[in-house]
Structure 1
Amino acid sequence: MEIEAPPVDYQRVVPTAERRGLILVHTGTGKGKSTAAFGLALRAHGRGKAVKVYQFMKVPTARFGEHRLFEQLGIPIEGLGDGFSWKSRDLDHSAQLALDGWAKAEATIRAGGHFMVVLDEIMYPLRYGWIPLETILTCLRERPPHVHVVLTGRNAPAEMVELADTVTEMTLIKHHFKAGVPAQRGIED
């Protein structure tokens, strides 16, 4: 590790644009995309803002750690799917669930009643062709100006990256799965 001197001069950049709803994308092969989105949801909720979380790959009856905590805090979180594709018994049904789930999420975004809407793991049904990309992009462009939308998942399409205000790519450097360590409650859920 190289030691560096702490910065002592700070050049404040004065923003020139007005505050507005943002499109934030968390993508990449590394861990932490959903976790970062949930952190934003908690931060907004902590400021008294209305937040809604949709999870495109989780079942409606899911009881993972985030569901338990969000329920205690009063943050609505809704599973829209039937699990990851490799667990599905009927991919046509999975596709329909994603499309129906998108209709719910789109209605929530367009209604403008929430400060933030999280679309967790939406890149999977998008990449599988279950939800048309242009439908999502149009909704994001036409959303009420105060609504923030957070989208997560691997391989965000270039068109979404271009439209977004903030894009963070989580890069896999090392993962415990490769050492044979299984998923653990409280870390992966």
Structure 2
Amino acid sequence: MKYLIGHAQKIAQRYYISNVINIMEMNDKEKIKARTLTHLLDGTVVEPHPMDMYALTKLRHRWSVQTGVLCREQTGKVYFDKVQEMNLVEDELDLRDVKSYISQALFDSWERANPLNKLTMYWLMSPIPDHRFTMRQAIAPIYVNNVLGEMLTKYEHDNPEHPVKHLLCPTLDDFITYLVGQS
């Protein structure tokens, strides 16, 4: 049995999980849209086999977590803020326990970010102990959920006359090039 669990944990390490939250939905809990995605380690969104999903979500792992806030200045420049990486290696936790564990850290980061520039908060979780998330892995859920095209900061919401640069790139690589190349 121990072998099967170890094998299933190895299978789960092919993936990471992400979520982004639209702040405009936070005032009405009924309107919050689920944006939890499962990715391969290269950032590609996938629908894992049910057994892989079981291994990822129901088995206990030593999780690596990244939380942060994505912001957009009034100039249109986009940046990551209050990024935290945590390695939950003392105890093995299932996915639900990890979500509970990180929610406070996520909301603390949200509260400390510039209130006018906050666009979304996000989290990434990997069942690989001591995993360091790459820039591509962090940017992939922002791209897939079209955060820059569909979400507004408080400033943009409160000032509808302010021009907002909505961006939709054809590929993740183009999106990364855009974000890295901002001046």
Query: Under a length normalisation based on structure 2, what TM-score does the superposition of the two structures give?
Result: 0.25
| Relative contact order higher in (CA < 8 Å, ≥ 6 apart) | 1
Indicate the structure with greater strand content.
Answer: 2
